Amino acid sequence: METDLLIIGGGPAGLHAAYVAALHGSKTVIVDESFSLGGQLRQQTQQINHLPDPLESQTGIALAETLTKRLGNLDVTILLKHTMIGAYKDGRVGVSNGENTIPIAAKKVLVTTGAAEEAFAFPGWTLPGVMTVGAAQILMNREHVKPGKNAIVIGSNDFALEVAKQLVENGVFLQGIVEAKDRLKASNKETVQFLEAAGVPIYLNSSIIQASGNGEVEKVIISHQEANKEMDIDLVCIGKGVTPILEPMEILGCDFTYEQDLGGWVPQYHLTMETSQSSVYVAGNAAGITDMGAILLTAEIASVGVIESLGGLDEEAAVSRREQLWQQLCHLESTSTCKARIHMIKASQGEMDTQLAQLFDMSGGGI
């Protein structure tokens, strides 16, 4: 198989990048290991705001449908239930459906693999009934199964508290949010207010000691205010956070750097989202953990870089469009995330060109 652009990952970043590239005449292939497109959007019932134009505020499920439908009449080939398994010495990428391997010769490769949830170990963490908040969300919103009757959520980032809210809305008795810090990590005040109004206890400066039960979770013990508290629990949801999925870029030989405000280890990339490996690009949460609007903007920045390098967009138009997209990106995402991106790009480029210098000033400089 031959193509102009091979996209690894059919989540929001991959879908948006494919749309932009195909609109400009690039033959595109999307590879995704799942049975349908949309990634994590497929089970997100919450309203997603602050999306780039012309997308309007909508639920994650609706956004997945919107992004997928736009590809209908474009030159985009979709390979579902396929996984990237390696790279050949001649530059081709090998993808497999478990039975056959397809070598794909692509002029450009864009990695949009997103992020994976982190978990942590504690006594009893392998018992049935202990899961990540993402797994609980899949059960509720995609499989329409109530994951438990009496729950506790460990962690208080925005994603964890959104799932906590959905647990309450689905009739699960939520017995508490356990946070190790002295304050909640979530920035979404509406979700916090919902949980407070629902009477959900918040345990700050607290931690889970153990989960126990006969073949499944039946009880948990948490440490709170220098004392242990035992609860009857059949569902423990872990909301530690997410980190970028990097394996495809490791296979492709990309260089990495550590940026805590981007989620940890991320591939080095330039203003075009091209990595240290020529013709390999990155976008979405794989380029740094952020929110949905920024995920889509990084995808479009990467597509503009691909289109420009393939001759589908002249340099002046590409520079102008890229400047607009970066300005939107720095406006939409948090200051710390934007600064971390620019810091990493400055370090990888070695020196600042005019466009990067403008972004450096816009982000507040001082990096």
Residue-by-residue DSSP string for 258-293: EEGGGTEEEE-B-TT-BBSSTTEEE-GGGGS---HH
Partners of 222 in beta bridges: 208, 229
- DSSP class of residue 297 equals H
**Amino acid present at 344:** M
pLDDT tens digits, 108-129: 999 999 999 998 899 999 999 9
Q: How confident is the model at residue 367 (pLDDT cuts 50, 70, 90)?
A: very low
339 touches 363 (CB < 8 A): yes
27 touches 75 (CB < 8 A): yes
Least confident of 10-19, 283-292, 351-360: 351-360
In the predicted model, what is the mean pLDDT of residues 202-230? 95
What is the rounded distance in angstroms from the CA atom of residue 165 to the CA atom of residue 133?
11
Q: Which of 312, 319, 320 is nearest to 108 (CA)?
A: 312
Q: Which of 304, 234, 244, 316 is nearest to 271 (CA)?
A: 304
Q: How confident is the model at residue 366 (pLDDT cuts 50, 70, 90)?
A: very low
Does the fold of domain 120-238 match that of domain 2-116+242-362?
Answer: yes
What is the rounded distance in angstroms from the CA atom of residue 67 to the CA atom of residue 294?
15
Residue 46 has pLDDT above 80, yes or no: yes
Cα-based distances in Å from 356 to 285, 338, 340, 343, 360: 21, 12, 13, 10, 6
106 touches 132 (CB < 8 A): no
pLDDT at 331: 87
What is the rounded distance in angstroms from the CA atom of residue 10 to the CA atom of residue 114?
9
pLDDT at 162: 94
What is the rounded distance in angstroms from the CA atom of residue 248 to the CA atom of residue 84?
7
pLDDT at 352: 54
| Cα angle 63, 67, 72; round to 5 | 140
How is the chain split into domains, by residue range?
2-116+242-362, 120-238
259 touches 340 (CB < 8 A): yes
> What is the pLDDT of the chain when averaged over all its residues?
92
Residues 6+ apart with CB under 8 A from 182: 204, 205
40 touches 64 (CB < 8 A): no
Domain 2-116+242-362: CATH superfamily, name plus number: FAD/NAD(P)-binding domain (3.50.50.60)
Q: Does domain 120-238 have CATH number 3.40.50.20?
A: no
In the predicted model, what is the mean pLDDT of residues 262-270? 94
Residues 6+ apart with CB under 8 A from 153: 133, 160, 161, 163, 164, 167, 174, 176, 177, 178, 237, 239
Q: Between residues 107 and 336, which one has the greater pLDDT? A: 107
Residue 354 has pLDDT above 70, yes or no: no
pLDDT at 187: 84
343 touches 258 (CB < 8 A): no
- DSSP class of residue 308 equals H
pLDDT at 111: 98
What is the rounded distance in angstroms from the CA atom of residue 47 to the CA atom of residue 33?
26
Residue 289 has pLDDT above 60, yes or no: yes
Length of the chain, please?
A: 367
pTM of the model: 0.89
pLDDT tens digits, 3-42: 999 999 999 999 999 999 999 999 999 999 999 999 989 9
pLDDT tens digits, 232-259: 999 999 999 899 999 999 999 999 999 9
H helices, E strands: number in the chain:
10, 21
pLDDT at 119: 87
In the predicted model, what is the mean pLDDT of residues 146-175? 96
Cβ neighbours, 10 Å, residue 230 = 12
